[in-house]
């Protein structure tokens, strides 16, 4: 069932971009002679992009393709990123709230593949007893399936280590498909549609419910309001993400759905044009039972 669903999704999002023609979502004002890298598609997956210098394709006049808070990223990056969140009133008999901080370095080797390393630390406050803390790490790889004006798709894979300090004793294996479409060509000026779906598999000592697999999904609409070079508010973007997860096995199967309103802005650029990006948002549960009350998020990105 899981494999059939993922295969169907893969075909759904990728079949429209097998051909070499630009996506129908691309702004029609784009000049045919503008200096852009070649299109990457599934048809030229093995022949195009592997020997090309990394670059992030952009479409003048269209919506910028950006990394957000929950939706899996659909393009290759060269960046340092750090995320912090504080989750309040966790649905737990003992944990009061959770603070989490991570840092990552991502490096696109060419236009087809990117590698990333992640380190994180988590602090759990408790209602009774001694607070707990622990560190974890992860390795991430990303393959660019499609990169063309108005559309981008990528396959992400990730291995996350256990964090025994906070009671996480399983290794997590994640595979995900992520996509983006620029809706400017459909009359929605500088609006981007983002979506991703991922399967998580857990290996190691079983949890109380015996869960070994779950499915996570996310979608977002993002509207960009300003010019890329506006001081402190470059490409200022408001966006709303809807994300959730469903347990695929275990004695008790939970389904969660949450909504995150957020903002994203480019604070400025250094002399080489590298961007300093800030994002902030808050997660609110949309279903019951609630896994938490509110989660506050802040993210900083430095592109290099």
Residue 168 maps to which CATH number?
A: 2.40.160.40
289: nearest Cα among 234, 226, 247: 247
Report the domain count for the chain.
1
CA distance 117 to 202: 19
Chain Cα centroid distance, residue 81? 12
Q: How far is CA 105 from CA 39, 79, 193, 303, in A?
A: 26, 6, 25, 10
Q: Would you write out the chain's pLDDT as a tens digit for each of its 304 residues?
A: 455 555 545 554 554 555 455 555 666 544 444 567 899 999 999 999 999 999 988 888 899 999 999 999 999 999 999 999 999 887 776 778 999 999 999 999 999 999 999 999 999 998 888 899 999 999 999 999 999 999 999 999 999 999 999 989 999 999 999 999 999 999 999 999 999 999 999 998 877 777 899 999 999 999 999 999 999 999 999 999 999 999 998 888 888 999 999 999 999 998 888 999 999 999 999 988 788 889 999 999 999 9
Residue with tokens 């991703």: 196
CA distance 243 to 285: 10
> Which pLDDT value is given to residue 30?
44
> Are 152 and 143 within 8 A, CB to CB?
no
Residues in the chain: 304
Cis preceding linkage at 289, omega within 30: yes
pTM: 0.89
> Are 197 and 217 within 8 A, CB to CB?
yes
Which residues, 6+ apart, have CB-to-CB distance to 154 below 8 Å? 72, 73, 74, 75, 76, 142, 143, 144, 145, 177, 178, 179
Which residues constitute the domain of residue 294?
A: 2-303
């Amino acid at each position: 069932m899981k494999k059939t669903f993922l295969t169907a999704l893969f075909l759904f999002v990728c079949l429209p971009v097998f051909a070499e023609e630009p996506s129908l979502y691309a702004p029609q004002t784009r000049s045919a002679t503008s200096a852009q890298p070649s299109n990457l598609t599934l048809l030229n997956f093995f022949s195009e992009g592997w020997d090309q210098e990394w670059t992030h394709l952009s479409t003048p006049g269209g919506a910028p393709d950006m990394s957000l808070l929950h939706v899996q990223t659909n393009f290759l990056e060269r960046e340092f990123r750090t995320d912090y969140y504080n989750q309040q009133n966790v649905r737990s008999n003992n944990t009061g709230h959770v603070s989490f901080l991570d840092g990552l370095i991502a490096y696109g080797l060419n236009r087809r593949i990117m590698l990333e390393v992640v380190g994180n630390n988590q602090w759990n406050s408790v209602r009774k007893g001694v607070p707990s803390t622990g560190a974890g790490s992860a390795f991430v790889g990303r393959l660019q399936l499609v990169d063309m004006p108005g559309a981008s798709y990528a396959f992400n894979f990730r291995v996350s280590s256990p964090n025994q300090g906070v009671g996480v004793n399983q290794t997590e294996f994640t595979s995900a498909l992520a996509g983006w479409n620029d809706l400017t060509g459909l009359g929605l000026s500088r609006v981007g549609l983002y979506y991703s779906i991922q399967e998580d598999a857990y290996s190691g000592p079983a949890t109380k419910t015996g869960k070994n697999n779950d499915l996570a999904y996310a979608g977002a609409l993002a509207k960009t309001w300003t010019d890329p070079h506006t001081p402190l508010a470059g490409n200022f973007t408001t966006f709303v993400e809807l994300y959730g997860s469903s347990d695929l096995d275990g004695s008790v199967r939970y389904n969660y759905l949450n909504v995150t309103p957020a903002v994203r802005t480019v604070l400025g650029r250094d002399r080489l044009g590298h961007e300093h990006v800030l994002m902030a948002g808050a997660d609110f549960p949309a279903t019951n039972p609630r896994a938490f009350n509110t989660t506050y998020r802040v993210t900083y990105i430095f592109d290099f």
